[in-house]
Amino acid sequence: MGRARSQDNAEIRQLIDNWAIWRDAGDWERFATVWHPQDGWMNATWFQGPASEFIKVSRSGFENGVSILHFLGGHTADIAGDRAVAQTKMTINQRASVDGVEVDVVCTGRFYDFLSRENEQWKIVRRQPIYEKDRLDVVNPAMMLDLDPVLLGRFPSGYRHLGYVQTKSGFDVKEGLPGLTGTAVERLYADGAQWLDGTGN
């Protein structure tokens, strides 16, 4: 039992690593294989929808110079039969131009993933990032950037600057996404518990 659980953990971690590497490298055919083929669903600041559509819009952005990169850290997974919930520390790094000033925005948080085993292979059914903290830096220190406090205040502290930059870049950014604390992340944890005990979809 212990060896089987260890193998499951290793396979899930490999799947999460593959998501970041293949997505950021633009390896779209392999990126598609990490998702559940029917039920894969991606939630992000700028996108909520089926994984197949997420792949299309990510590819379009990649080919048009949108620079969003991911770095992964610590990882844990709770496994119950053919279902699992994984949490992986991550940072989202985006470079963009805001009002003619080139900036880097970095958001730290966790990927919270609902997974299922299909044909002896783990797949991502649903991904919901948890946004814990972010910051904004001007690439050229000689440049100055004045932020609109009204726009900045639309988003919670966990992705305030990321939401600002993405809105300025033309994305429709969702408000009220899970952060380190609060009702949104509590609902997410409840969904994860239901997924593991088989009562949630």
**Domains, the chain, with CATH or none:** 2-197 (3.10.450.50)
d(CA 73, CA 85): 16
Q: How many helices (H) and strands (E) does the chain have?
A: 6, 6
pLDDT tens digits, one per residue of 57-105 = 999 999 999 999 999 999 999 999 999 999 999 999 999 999 999 999 9
State yes or no: pLDDT of 158 exceeds 80.
yes
Rounded to 5 degrees, what angle do the CA atoms 190, 191, 196 make? 100
Model pLDDT for residues 17-68, shown as the tens digit of each residue:
999 999 999 999 999 999 999 999 999 999 999 999 999 999 999 999 999 9
